[in-house]
Amino acid sequence: MNRLKYIVKRVLMSVPVLWLGTSMTWFIIYQGPVDPAANLLSGNERLTEAKYEAARTELGLDQPPVQHYVDWMWNLFTLDLGQTWLVYTGSNVGALVLDFLPRTVWLGFWSVLIAICIGVPLGFYAGIRSNTVADYIASVSGIVWRAMPNFWLAVILLALLVGSEPLFGFDWDTFLVDLPSGVTGNPGLSYMAGDPLALFTQPGETLAAIKKILPAALVLGSASMGNEMRIGRTAVLETKNEQYVDFARARGVSGRAIVWKHVFRNALVPLVPVITTEAFLLIGGSVLVESVFGINGMGKLFFDAAIQGDLPLVGSLMFVFIVLMLVINIAQDILYTLIDPRVGYDGA
Amino acid sequence: MATQFNTYTEGEAAPLRDRVMANPRPAAVWVGVAAVLFGLQAGAVVQFLAALLVDAVAALPGITVPAGVAALDRAADAVPTLLSRETIPNRGYYDGGGYVGTFLGLSPDLAWLLRVTLIYAYSFAALAWVWVGYERYRTHYRIADWTPRDDVIDRFRGHKWGLFGVVVVAMFFVMVLFAPALSPTTTAANLENPYQHEVTYWADGETRTVTVGQANLGSQSQGTPQENVGPMQYDDYGRIHPFGTLPSGKDLFTFIAHGSRISLIIGLVSVGLSVSIAVVLALMTAYYKGKIDLGAVLVSDAVMGMPQLLLLIMLSVILSGTWVGKIYSGAFVLALIFAGTGWPAMWRSFRGPALQVSNREWVDAAKSFGQTPGTIMRKHMLPYITGYVLVYGSMTLGGAIIAIAGLSFLGLGVNPPTPEWGRAVNAGQDYVTTASWHISLIPGILITLVVTGFNALGDGVRDAIDPESDAEDQGGASGRGGGA
């Protein structure tokens, strides 16, 4: 019961955050120094008063600001995201998002998984063998890996994979699974349309889609990988020196059992909020990684909308991103309470 | 040596001047060294201040630099200094028998290396001088034999990782300060007006003259071994390029050295602003709690709910056309945006420690004595969170440098021709596996190194202030710029 209460409270807390974030976005876009209506018209059209007025009416800018604000918010909260103007002109934003979102989710999923699968074991390894040469190498490379800019890493990795034949002696494009379109481009997820089980029934397609996203996911997960390694190492170090570990050792529990049963399980707890912060890195970083690897995901869509000045689209997408972040955060807070029942029912 | 134990405070003791008079030798030697160090560089200091003034005036919209200010800048330029391009020139030419116009007739690469070595040697000597000054004060003139801060400094001295950070950060700062003197050529010739400057070179048995712009066209790095000028190579016009050239033929080292200035200025301004907002807010919320705290939680959650990099992109697009967006090639508005989006994460990190301090008995005692809230916050709470401020400030600075480079990489950050590291990475994107690998690789390695340095410095400070704490582990992502 207590837990349910906490979850309800957590969800309720996110409502004002969603409202505030969306309002700020509206204010920046529609009350900011740029006129969105003028921005949407190209050179010739901008000169004709009629076209400009039509655009203002279309965007609802002829209404008083309060009325426009209420309309805009109402449309967003009823998930009517409107039409695009410049990017894929005239398409329905909702449909566009549904079209682009799976690629970003696919990218995010694999980058979290890669980060966890490499970062956590490496951190635990370094923590158990603390102050050995292996620990120093693992720690320093984790720190350096974390300091590398994503966009630069993406550029370098992309170049290495494109030129993999002469450099490494094998061609990445045909390695294991054939990728006819090369390293860049969208992962082929369309085989799953209408049939999510195809993920398992058509392993060939799945493998190709994984291979396609792998370089981008590695780059996107790189920062979190370093974080997880650091935290994992510290957590193991701290747990190792706890009294109950000494006690277990004194009772003659084998070293292996101590590590697996006592140290690892407790060291996992501080790693959960690290995964939470990853949501921020993933969604923000997807812009850079997607544009370098040519993946048409949400980040690329947002970036295109921003540089082409399609401000209404920027606003709608920002709303989608805020919702995404809130959902991920709530999910991870709930996960946290499941792993460690002592954590914050009355805090947060 | 102050061997006897005294309980009086600094204010009650004999003035520092009397203590120095009683034992003048260490101080005199120290001041003597200072005079020599300063004398070598007096011209540079004057010139730096004059250039700063010119930049500040030029940054204001709608104002041309007044003639008087410009004249002051030129006059300052004429003061000879040890570590300038003019004292140790590397821009000479070969006239068939030897080099003309370079330092002592050395080849340009040696002359350049000599200058760089001297600049770094000088800077580290200056740093050592500051350190010796502190040590002399501590052993000869300070009344207290021991203060808690001594422990912090001694712990930091033994922290190898932190010292590595200090060295890297110091080298970065030297690059920022001495960018014009370190570069093999000037920004005016390299980036701004290449067709108004000339270069003399030796070809086919005679010396010829050509404009820098023309020479640049002949020294582009575009991937093929024929069209490439790599690190420490000469181009066809006898110019040395320590990091090679850009695809446009401009010198990459000059670009990077001057780009470091803009990175650091944006970083310092934005981190300074967001730290101030975060500290004031943390003190207020910790002191008053209740509704103020709740409001701050909501606002910060809402700002943090929008991914920082996306917010940066949105705001820089919207503000780019306004007058704020034009100050300092768009760098100023970036710093503002970064501060505006960065404070919530910092406030979150300061809030915990500030709340802890606000519950201590000395705060209650101060309240009961009738001290004003402002005084209590400043005198009794602030000192306990300055450590966190240093740690987070240093780590966020690294994150800011990455984020701004990321924006420039996307073509959104600082406007050309003002150099920025991210733009160099972007320019070299297509050439990573070709002969012109240096264009993307070198700026990226430098960003990684500088950010690692700032993080290491932060780690060192954290361990020195409180060896038990794990401040950074609370918000693991503080060292990153919104995922750039």
Tens-place pLDDT, residues A258-279:
777 777 777 777 777 677 667 6
Instruction: Report residue B478's pLDDT band, with 50, 70 and 90 as the boundaries.
Output: very low
| pLDDT above 60: residue B471 | no
Confidence grade of residue B1 (pLDDT, cut at 50, 70, 90): very low
- DSSP assignment letter at A295: -
Say whether residue A16 is in contact with chain B using an 8 A CB cutoff: yes
Over the stretch B125-143, which tens digit does the pLDDT of each residue have? 888 988 988 888 888 888 7
Predicted-assembly ipTM surpassing the 0.85 threshold:
no
Residue A157 touches partner B, C-beta closer than 8 Å: no
pLDDT tens, residue by residue, B30-85: 888 888 887 777 777 777 777 777 767 766 666 666 677 777 766 766 666 667 77
Given a cut of 90, whether residue B171 has pLDDT beyond it is yes
Please list every residue in chain B whose beta carbon sits closer than 8 Å to the beta carbon of residue A307. Answer: 317, 410-412
Percent of chain A at pLDDT > 70 equals: 86
Give the confidence band of A343 by pLDDT, cuts at 50, 70, 90.
low
Residue B245 dihedral angles phi and psi, to the nearest 5°? -120, 165
B259 three-class SS: helix
Which chain B residue is nearest to residue A324, measuring alpha carbons? B305
Question: CA quadruple B67, B68, B73, B78: dihedral positive or negative?
Answer: positive
pLDDT of residue B416: 76
Report pLDDT for A46: 58
- The closest of A298, A340, A299, A326 to A11, measured between CA atoms, is A326
Residues of B in contact with A167 (CB under 8 A): 433
Beta bridge partners of B200: B209
Out of B298, B314, B425, the one facing A318 most closely (by C-beta) is: B314
Please check whether residue B397 is in contact with residue B268, taking contact to mean a CB–CB distance below 8 angstroms.
Answer: yes
pLDDT at B3 over 70: no
pLDDT in tens, B433-461: 888 888 889 999 999 999 999 988 888 88
Per-residue model confidence (pLDDT) at position B484: 62
Q: Is the dihedral of CA A304, A305, A306, A308 positive or negative?
A: positive
User: Given an 8 Å threshold on Cβ–Cβ distance, is B307 in contact with A273?
Assistant: no
User: Residues B458-475: what's their mean pLDDT?
Assistant: 66
pLDDT given at position B480:
53
**Pure H helices in B137-220:** 148-157, 160-177, 179-182, 187, 212-217
- pTM (2 d.p.): 0.85
Round to whole Å and give the CA distance between B472 and A277. Answer: 13
How would residue B9 be classed by pLDDT, with cut points 50, 70 and 90?
A: low
User: Looking at residues B346-366, what average pLDDT do you find?
Assistant: 85
Confirm or reject contact between B340 and chain A (CB < 8 A): no
3-state secondary structure of B203: strand
Task: Residue window 454-473, chain B: list those with CB within 8 Å of chain A.
Answer: 455-456, 470, 473
CB–CB of A20 and B318 under 8 A? Answer: no
Give the model's confidence band at B275: pLDDT under 50 very low, under 70 low, under 90 confident, else very high: very high
- Which chain A positions have a beta carbon within 8 Å of B310's beta carbon? 283-284, 287, 302, 318, 321
Is A223 in CB contact (< 8 Å) with chain B? yes
CA atoms within 13 A on the CB side of A35: 10
Task: Tell whether A124 is within 8 A of chain B (Cβ).
Answer: no
DSSP state of B189: I
B294 and chain A in contact, CB less than 8 A: no
pLDDT digits (tens, 9 = 90+) for A42-68: 666 656 777 777 777 777 777 788 888
Candidate from A158, A270, A280 with C-beta closest to B307:
A280
Q: Could you give the C-alpha distances from B29 to B20, B25, B264, in angstroms and in order?
A: 12, 6, 34
> Which residue type is seen at A256?
R
Cβ–Cβ < 8 Å for B112, B240? yes
Q: What is the pLDDT of residue A193?
A: 67
Chain A residues with beta carbon closer than 8 angstroms to that of B318: 28-29, 32-34, 311
What is the reported pLDDT for A145? 82
Cβ within 8 Å of B, A 31-90: 32-34
- Pair of tokens at residue B98: 């030897």
Give per-residue pLDDT as tens, B14-25. 777 778 778 888
pLDDT of B168 above 90 = yes
Rounded-to-integer distance, Cα B403 and Cα B263, Å:
10
pLDDT band at B481 (very low <50, low <70, confident <90, very high): low
Highest mean pLDDT, choosing among A83-87, B147-151, B372-376: B372-376
φ/ψ of residue B240, rounded to 5: -90, 135
Averaged over B328-352, what is the pLDDT?
Answer: 85
Phi-psi region of A203 (alpha: psi -120 to 50; beta: other; left: phi over 0): alpha
Taking all residues of chain A, what is their mean pLDDT, rounded to a whole number?
A: 79
**Which of B301, B306, B312, B436 is the best substitution to test chain A (most A C-beta atoms within 10 A)?**
B306
Mean pLDDT of B286-294: 85
E strands, B307-349, in order:
none
DSSP states of B7-67 as a string?
Answer: ---TTTSPPHHHHHHHS-HHHHHHHHHHHHHHHHHHHHHHHHHHHHHHHHHHHSTT-PPPH
Neighbours of A63 (CB within 10 A): 15
Percent with pLDDT over 90 in chain A: 0
End-to-end CA distance of chain A: 17
- Given pLDDT bands bounded at 50, 70 and 90, which one contains residue B167? very high
Residue A342 pLDDT grade (very low, low, confident, very high; cuts 50, 70, 90)? low
> Which residues make beta-bridge pairs with A83?
A92
Q: Does A267 touch chain B (CB under 8 A)?
A: no
What's residue A125's pLDDT? 85
Residue scoring higher pLDDT (A7 or A172): A7
The two most distant CA atoms of chain A are separated, in Å, by 87
Instruction: Give me the mean pLDDT over the A16-21 stretch.
Output: 88
**Mean pLDDT for all residues in chain B:** 81
pLDDT band at B273, cuts 50/70/90? very high
- Find out whether A304 and A87 touch, Cβ atoms under 8 Å: yes
Q: Phi and psi for B9 in degrees, rounded to 5?
A: -95, 170
In order of B144, B219, B290, B301, B367, the CA distances from B297 in angstroms are 43, 55, 11, 6, 25
Smallest Cα distance from B309 to chain A, Å: 5
The answer to whether A45 touches A67, Cβ cutoff 8 Å, is: no
Q: Is the confidence at residue B410, as pLDDT, over 50?
A: yes
Residue B469 CB-half CA count within 13 A: 18
At position B464, the amino acid (one-letter code) is A
* Contact assignment for A143 to B456 by CB distance below 8 Å: yes
Tell me how far apart the alpha carbons of residues B60 and B332 are, in angstroms, rounded to a whole number: 11
B99 pLDDT more than 80: no
With bands split at pLDDT 50, 70 and 90, how would you rate the model's confidence at B170? Answer: very high
pLDDT of A335 > 80? The answer is no
Q: Do A152 and B444 touch (CB under 8 A)?
A: yes
Higher pLDDT, B102 or A67: A67
Q: Which residues of B touch A143 (CB under 8 A)?
A: 452, 455-456
A136 or B484, higher pLDDT: A136
- Contacts for B349 with CB less than 8 Å, ≥ 6 apart: B278, B388, B392, B471, B474, B475, B478
State the Cα–Cα distance between residues B201 and B461, nearest whole angstrom.
51
Cβ contact A152–B433 (<8 Å): no
Q: How many residue pairs from chains A and B have C-beta atoms closer than 8 A?
A: 188
Residue B425, chain A, CB below 8 Å: the answer is yes
Find out whether B313 and B305 touch, Cβ atoms under 8 Å.
no
Give me the torsion for CA of A220, A223, A226, A228, rounded to 10°: -80
Contacting residues of A for B299, CB less than 8 Å apart: 20
Closest by alpha carbon to B305, among A68, A86, A267, A329?
A329
Which residues on B lie below 8 Å from A310 (Cβ)? none
Distance of CA B66 to the CA centre of its chain: 28
Cross-chain CB nearest to B484 (options A224, A270, A288):
A288
Contact criterion met (CB < 8 Å) for A21 and B306? yes
What are the chain B neighbours of A344 within 8 Å (beta carbons)?
Answer: none
Minimum-distance CB partner of A291 among B310, B315, B410: B410
By Cβ distance, the residue of B309, B322, B398 closest to A147 is B398
CA B357/CA B370 separation, integer angstroms: 18
Contact present, B373 and B389 (Cβ < 8 Å) = no
Q: Is residue A1's pLDDT more than 60?
A: no
The four Cα atoms A324, A329, A334, A339 give a dihedral, to 10 degrees, of 130
- The one-character DSSP state at B5 is -
For A187-234, how does the pLDDT look when each residue is reduced to its tens digit (9 = 90+)?
777 666 666 666 677 777 777 888 888 888 888 888 778 878 888 888
Question: Which residues of chain B neighbour A144 with C-beta distances below 8 Å?
Answer: 448, 452
For residue B53, give how far its alpha carbon lies from the nearest alpha carbon of chain A (Å): 30
What is the predicted pLDDT for the residue at B233? Answer: 83
pLDDT for the residue numbered B477: 41
Residue A299 neighbours by CB under 8 Å, 6+ apart: A104, A283, A285, A286, A287, A288, A289, A290, A291
Q: Whole-angstrom Cα distance, residue A316 to residue A83? A: 10
Give the 3-state secondary structure of residue A39.
Answer: helix
Report the C-alpha gap between B464 and B154 in whole angstroms. Answer: 8
Identify the residue with better confidence: A217 or A346: A217
Q: What is the pLDDT of residue B59?
A: 62
Sign of CA dihedral B16, B17, B19, B24: positive
Lowest mean pLDDT among A186-195, B55-64, B207-216, B275-284: B55-64
**pLDDT value for B8:** 55
Amino acid making up residue B478: S
Measured CA distances, B168 to B161, B221, B451, B452 (Å): 11, 29, 9, 8
How far is it, in rounded angstroms, from Cα A149 to Cα B402? 6
Residue B315 parent element (H or E): helix B308-319
